């Protein structure tokens, strides 16, 4: 009987894993199924651009990206995994009224990614906007386009990479908006070398983004937000970017997870509780060179997507695979379309002295983003 390989989630990690497995296992008796909530590959790293009203380069549908492979695509939402019967329950929106599909597996790759962390403070789920998935970014885009001509205030909460990029992009694309960036930390750009940090400050200032540090938000309201030191901020739009939350599917299905619900894996990305299951990308707590859980990033997702395919192919061939190396090379930050920061890093994600800033950094980042997904059979990173 054919070996049934199922990959759930077709983001950076899952799509790369499925395509690479197809390539590595051409001569094996395997059936590879890729399950994803929609038929489209979402370039999450561009969602702040989408929110700011920019057009992003068109990407082929998942079906087109899988042209030339034998990967079977199922479009539907994974609701549960039954580890005892080795089945994945899929709610298939394309078959409205039909009972949920159940897909059996011998080996499963869990790659469901992450979404916005909107439940951190009261009022945020009801009143805040986000950029973590395409629906949220599109909703924010609608809100911003209403305000583009009339002006208004946008407060971006969270000065991690997503918050900084979103604030910069909104300020550059919509100069009539007043953009504020709030962080509970005492500075922006932690993890950057001093030169990169001062460029970040300079760029935000140039774009007119006002930065408010040590501002811990206690509640989001329809007309703004409150902070713990009692200072209210009035805003027509609050954008919440304080981090990502992973889907509950792994934890609710009884897999070993960390406290955030990321699947716990060993150095070969294999679940520590269920050896026939692997996890990759944001939804996995991979082990990075520092020993810390992998950073939720495209860089980790691609390394894990590639690595898991090699591991599974080796095990199916009866060999013991090498550990998957999730090393880092740089942190890249866009500051609008004409400015940016590339902070080069050691493999353990600590910063090197070398930093690129300005237009060269913007060009560098755009090239990296383009290289992650190219046309089908285009020899890109995601082509495996
Ligand atoms: C605005 C923004 C900017 C960013 N910029 C950068 C950057 O510059 N550099 C960087 O390294 N990282 C960046 N990131 C982070 C990066 O996008 C993520 O770390 C990366 O997308 C993770 O890849 P993944 O494959 O694990 O998950 P995802 O890309 O999230 O893919 C998960 C897939 O699973 C699907 N899915 C989820 N739940 C289900 C379900 N129940 N059933 C079926 N399918 C499901 C989703 O539809 C999606 O296709 C950014 C993120 C955002 C939001």
The whole-number pLDDT of residue 99 equals: 61
**pTM of structure:** 0.95
Q: Is any ligand 1 atom within 6 A of the Cβ of residue 244?
A: no
Neighbours of 270 (CB within 10 A): 23
Closest C-alpha to ligand 1, atom 38: 112
Closest C-alpha to ligand 1, atom 4: 45
What are 90's strand-pairing partners?
78, 101
Q: Specify the pairing of strand 77-82 against strand 340-345.
A: unpaired
In Å, what is the CA distance from 61 to each residue of 36, 39, 65? 12, 6, 6
Cα 44 to averaged position of ligand 1 atoms, centre (Å): 5
Instruction: State which ligand 1 atom lies nearest to the alpha carbon of 333.
Output: 8
Separation of alpha carbons 295 and 49, rounded Å: 22
Closest C-alpha to ligand 1, atom 48: 11
The whole-number pLDDT of residue 1 equals: 87
Q: Is any ligand 1 atom within 6 A of the Cβ of residue 301?
A: yes
The whole-number pLDDT of residue 105 equals: 98
The whole-number pLDDT of residue 371 equals: 86
Instruction: State which ligand 1 atom lies nearest to the alpha carbon of 298.
Output: 11
Q: Is 2 exposed, middle or buried (0-12, 13-18, 19+ CB in 10 A)?
A: exposed
Domains and CATH numbers, the chain: 3-114+246-326 (3.50.50.60), 119-243 (3.50.50.60)
Buried b (16+ CB within 10 A) or exposed e, 366-381: eebbeebbbebeeebb
The whole-number pLDDT of residue 381 equals: 40
Residues of the chain with pLDDT under 50: 375-384
Cα 317 to averaged position of ligand 1 atoms, centre (Å): 31
Cα 1 to averaged position of ligand 1 atoms, centre (Å): 34
Q: Is any ligand 1 atom within 6 A of the Cβ of residue 112?
A: yes
Closest C-alpha to ligand 1, atom 27: 113
Tokens of residue 382, six digits: 């995601």
SS3 304: helix
Q: Which of 39, 160, 249, 297 for a ligand 1 pocket mutation test, highest count of atoms within 8 Å of Cβ? A: 297
């Amino acid at each position: 009987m054919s070996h049934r390989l199922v990959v759930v989630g077709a983001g950076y990690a899952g799509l790369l894993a499925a395509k690479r497995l197809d390539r590595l296992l051409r001569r094996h008796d395997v059936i590879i199924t890729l399950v994803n909530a929609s038929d489209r590959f979402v370039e999450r790293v561009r969602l702040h651009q989408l929110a700011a009203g920019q057009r992003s380069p068109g990407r082929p549908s998942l079906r087109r990206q899988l042209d030339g492979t034998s990967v079977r695509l199922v479009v539907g939402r994974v609701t549960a995994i039954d580890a005892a019967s080795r089945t994945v329950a899929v709610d298939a929106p394309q078959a409205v009224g039909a009972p949920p599909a159940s897909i059996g597996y011998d080996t499963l790759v869990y790659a469901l990614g992450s979404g916005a962390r909107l439940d951190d403070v009261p009022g945020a789920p009801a009143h805040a906007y986000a950029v973590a998935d395409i629906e949220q970014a599109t909703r924010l885009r609608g809100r911003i386009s209403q305000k583009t001509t009339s002006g208004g205030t946008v407060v971006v909460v969270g000065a991690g990479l997503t918050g900084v990029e979103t604030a910069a992009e909104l300020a550059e694309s919509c100069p009539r908006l007043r953009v504020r960036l709030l962080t509970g930390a005492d500075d922006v750009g932690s993890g950057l070398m001093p030169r990169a940090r001062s460029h970040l400050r300079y760029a935000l200032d140039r774009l007119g983004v006002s930065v408010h540090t040590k501002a811990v938000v206690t509640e989001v309201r329809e007309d703004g937000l409150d902070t713990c030191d009692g200072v209210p901020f009035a805003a027509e739009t609050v954008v919440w970017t304080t981090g990502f939350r992973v889907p509950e599917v792994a934890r609710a299905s009884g897999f070993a997870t960390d406290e955030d619900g990321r699947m716990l894996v060993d150095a070969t990305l294999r679940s520590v509780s269920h050896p026939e299951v692997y996890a990759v990308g944001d939804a996995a707590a991979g082990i990075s060179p520092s020993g810390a859980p992998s950073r939720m990033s495209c860089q980790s997702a691609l390394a894990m997507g590639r690595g898991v395919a090699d591991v599974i192919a080796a095990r199916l061939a009866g060999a013991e695979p090498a550990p998957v190396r999730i090393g880092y090379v740089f942190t890249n930050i866009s500051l609008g379309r004409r400015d940016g920061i590339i902070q080069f890093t050691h493999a353990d994600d600590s910063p090197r002295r070398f930093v690129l800033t300005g237009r060269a950094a913007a060009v560098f980042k755009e090239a990296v983003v383009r290289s992650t997904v190219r046309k089908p059979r285009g020899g890109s990173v995601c082509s495996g």
